[in-house]
Amino acid sequence: MPVEVTVDSMVSIVSAHPWVADARATPGDVITVWPEPAATRAGPEPGPLLREHLDHWAEVYDWVYQEAVGRHSDDLDLSGWRASDTGEPLPIEHMREWLACTVGLVLAQRPRRVLEIGCGTGLLAHRLHPHLRGYLGTDVAPAAVHRLGEADLPRTAFVQAAAHETATARVRAAMDDAFGQGVTPDCVLLNSVTQCFPGLGYLAEVLRQALAVVADGGTVIVGDVRHSDLLTAHFTWLEQSRDPDVGADDLRTRIRAAIAADEELSFSPRAVAAALTAQGRPVRVSLHARTMEQDTELTRYRYDIVLHVGAGVPEVPAPVRRIPWSGQVGADLAATLRAASADDPIVVSGIPNALLYDAPTAATPHALRHAVRELDAVVLLDPHDPRLLAVAAPAAGGLLALEDLVGSGPATGPEAHEPLAGFVRRRLPEVLRDHLRRQVPGTRPPRIVVADDSERRGTR
Is-contact 158 138, C-beta < 8 A? yes
Highest-confidence segment of 354-358, 402-406, 440-444: 354-358
Provide the pLDDT for residue 280.
84
pLDDT at position 412, please? 64
What SS3 state is found at 255?
helix
| CA neighbor of 402 nearest in space, from 234, 244, 265, 281 | 281
Going by pLDDT thresholds of 50, 70 and 90, the confidence category of residue 329 is: confident
User: What percent of the chain has a predicted confidence (pLDDT) above 70?
Assistant: 94
Which whole number is the average pLDDT over 118-137? 98
Is the pLDDT score of 2 beyond 60?
no
- Choosing among 1.20.140.10, 2.30.29.30, 3.40.50.300, 3.40.50.150, the CATH entry for 53-314 is 3.40.50.150
Pairing type for strands 400-401 and 283-289 reads antiparallel
Average pLDDT over residues 202-209: 96
Q: State the chain's mean pLDDT as an integer.
A: 92
Of the candidates 117, 116, 121, which has an alpha carbon nearest to the alpha carbon of residue 81? 121
Alpha carbons 357 and 454: distance in angstroms, whole number: 35
Query: Model confidence at 1, in pLDDT bands (50, 70, 90)?
Result: very low
Average pLDDT over residues 18-40: 96
Banded pLDDT at 367 (limits 50, 70, 90)? very high
**Helix, strand, or coil (residue 227):** coil
- Which range has the worst mean pLDDT, 175-184, 198-207, 400-409? 400-409
Q: Domain residue spans in the chain?
A: 53-314, 319-398
Contact 300, 356 (CB under 8 A): yes
Q: Going by C-beta distance under 8 Å and a sequence separation of 6 or more, which residues neighbour residue 2?
A: 442, 443, 444
Helix extents (H) in 227-268: 231-242, 248-261
369-378 pLDDT tens trace: 999 999 899 9
Q: How far is CA 356 from CA 248, 296, 301, 364, in A?
A: 19, 11, 9, 9
At 100 the three-state DSSP class reads helix
Q: What is the pLDDT of residue 407?
A: 59
- State pLDDT tens for residues 52-74: 999 999 999 999 999 988 899 98
Burial of 247 (0-12, 13-18, 19+ CB in 10 A): exposed
Q: What angle in degrees, to the nearest 10, is found between the helix axes of 48-67 and 420-439? A: 110
Contact (Cβ atoms closer than 8 angstroms) between residue 391 and residue 333? yes
Give the model's pLDDT for residue 314: 67
> What DSSP letter does each residue of 41-91 carry, written as one string?
--SSS--HHHHHHHHHHHHHHHHHHHH-TTEEETTEE-TT-B-TTT-SBPP
**In the predicted model, what is the mean pLDDT of residues 428-437?**
97
pLDDT over 60 (residue 408): no
The answer, yes or no, to whether residue 456 has pLDDT greater than 60, is no
Question: What's the Cα-to-Cα distance from 292 to each of 302, 327, 341, 348, 392, rounded to whole Å?
Answer: 11, 20, 26, 20, 18
* pLDDT > 60? residue 457: no
What is the SS3 assignment for 428-450? HHHHHHHHHHHHCCCECCCEEEE
Residue 4 has pLDDT above 80, yes or no: no
Query: Is residue 98 scored above 60 in pLDDT?
Result: yes
The answer on pLDDT for 410 being more than 60 is no
CB contact at 8 A, 83 and 90: yes
**Average pLDDT rounded to a whole number, residues 255-281:** 93
CA distance 208 to 303: 20
Q: Averaged over 426-431, what is the pLDDT?
A: 97
Could you tell me if 354 and 364 are in contact, meaning their C-beta atoms sit under 8 angstroms apart?
yes
Instruction: Find residue 219's DSSP bridge partners.
Output: 187, 308
pLDDT number for residue 229: 95
Mean pLDDT score, 230-241: 96
Residues 214, 301, 124: CA angle, nearest 5 degrees:
40
State the pLDDT at residue 460: 37
Looking at residue 411, its pLDDT comes to 59
pLDDT of residue 311 exceeding 90: no
- How high is the pLDDT of residue 458? 46
